[in-house]
Every structure is written in structure tokens, then in C-alpha cells.
Amino acid sequence: MADKEYTGVGGYIEHHLTNNVIELVPGNPFWNVHIDSVIYSLVLGVLFLWFFRRVAKKATSGVPGRMQNFIELIVGFVDDQVKDAFKGNSKLVAPLALTIFVWVFLMNFMDLVPVDLLPAAGQQVGINYMKVVPTTDLNITFGLAIGVMILVFYYSIVIKGPLGYAKELVTHPFEAKNPIAIIALAPFNLLLNVVETLAKPISLALRLFGNLYSGELIFLLIAVFTLDMAVTELFTTLGGPLMGIGQFILTFIWAAFHILIITLQAYIFMMLSLVYLNMAHEKHDAH
């Protein structure tokens, strides 16, 4: 992509919020790939798999080490949530929930990396644009949400059967016994179910994106406190040290609070995915 000149505070923020784009089809932005989001997502996913596999291979039935205790705590927590939220019978759901929770958390955790650290390192090797938080990219959050919904559709059809799922779409939520009433309500039921189905991935993706994007923006706003000050001003004037100290305090406070946000958002994404998958496994007696 062509480089753009960024100046001032607005340019600094815009530059940090710009993805590194590869145009697969020139002139058609639909086929653009945000290569930075893709690479960081894959690296964090591989890191998650490598670390959990490493701990699992070294696991012992005797006195566990700190890492084994930590992993067992996460696995036990996710397992409890699956037992509470999912009433179906599937060997895929629990590992899927664990993957969603840890992977989304790791992607969110990149928001706590100093905003200039990795982009500045990238510029040293000629990478002018770099967004390091994958979940501040709608393409990533929608990809995750659509992946969950594909499984929801799959289980809805497998568990209920194609005809059973189709019947559910036109007979729920307004149920009727009279054939004429069933036919009359069918369009309304279908419309409501289509809207609900479309709203699930949209709300799932936008909730995660919105919270992480706003968090990243606040870190950038804090960072601009000393943006226009020269290094000498930071140490030779009264305002420099005060601005630097204020920036550090604000960053620390927001980072401490943001740890709760990134964890909560990973948990919410996992729980809503479990709820949707549980709904896909439910059979209605009337159908």
C-alpha cells in the first residue's frame, strides 16, 4: 500500500490505527489482507498450542509445578463454564471453548504492550504500518464470530435434521396448533429468526472489537502527552518531567484496569459461543 504522510497528534493516532495491507486484487478493497493482524493472530495461536502442549507433556500426577498448576486452573475454569452453559453431548465444544478463551485473551493482551514498541521496531526494518492487537481489527473479530456461527449451523442441521431445523425457523418463537395459524405466522417467525441469526455474529464481533479498539485508543491518547516534546525538554524543563510522570501514572492505572477488560471480553466471547452452540443442540418437543 502507498505510504501516507502523518503529522501531529491526529496523524500519530491514525498511523497507529492503520493496518499493513496487502492488495490481492488492486482497486478492490474487499480482497485486501491485513497482514499484520493475520501474522499476530497466527503467532499467538501457535504460541498457545506450543505452550499448552509443552506443559501437558511434562505434566505429572505427583506434586505439580507452577506452570502445570496454572494451566490446570485455566482448564478447570473453562470446563466448569462448559458444564454450566452447554447441555449437549459433543467432544469438540470443551476444547473449542478453551481455544476461544485463551486465544482471544492472548490477542487482547497485546493491547498492554507499549503502543510504540513493536511499530517502532517494525519501522527499523522497513515496516511502516503495524497494528499489533488483532482484536482491534474487524476482520479478525468477524472471522472468529463467523467460525462459531458455522459450527452453530452445522450442529443445528446435524442434531435437528435439515427438515427439523427448517421447521423450527418457521414455527418459532410464535407457536400455533391450527394449520392456518401456522401458515399465517410462518413469515413472521422466519423474519425474526433470520434477524436473530444475523445479529448473533454481528453482536459477537462488534462487542469484542469495540471494547479493544476503544482501549487501544485510550492508550494512544495517553501516549500523545509527550509526543511533541523533545528529549531535552523532558529533562530540562519543569513541564517535561511532570508530563512524563503523569503519562506513566495514567498508563499504569489504565493498564491495570484494562487487564480486567481483556479478560472479561475473552470470557464473554467464550460464554456467548457456548450459549449459541447449546441452542443449536436443543430440540423442541413440538418439532
Bridge partners for 23 per DSSP: 32
Exposure pattern of 76-112 as b/e (b: 16+ CB <10 Å)? eebeebbeebbeeebeebbebbbbbbbbbbbbbbbbb
Please indicate whether residue 69 is annotated as part of the active site: no
Q: Cβ(217)–Cβ(13) under 8 Å?
A: yes
Burial of 2 (0-12, 13-18, 19+ CB in 10 A): exposed
Q: Which of 90, 211, 273, 278 is catalytic?
A: 211
Copy the grid coordinates of residue 7.
Answer: 503529522
Q: Pick the catalytic residue from 53, 54, 69, 203.
A: 203
Cβ 223 vs Cβ 247: under 8 Å: yes
Q: Cα dihedral sign for 222, 228, 233, 235?
A: positive
Active site residue 211: yes
Any bridge partners for residue 21, and if so which? 34
Residue 201 DSSP one-character state: H
Active-site annotation holder among 32, 139, 193, 207 = 207
For 27-125, strand residue ranges (E) read 32-34
- Using an 8 Å Cβ cutoff, are 268 and 77 in contact? no
102, 169 Cβ separation under 8 angstroms: no
Q: Supply the residues annotated as catalytic.
A: 203, 207, 211
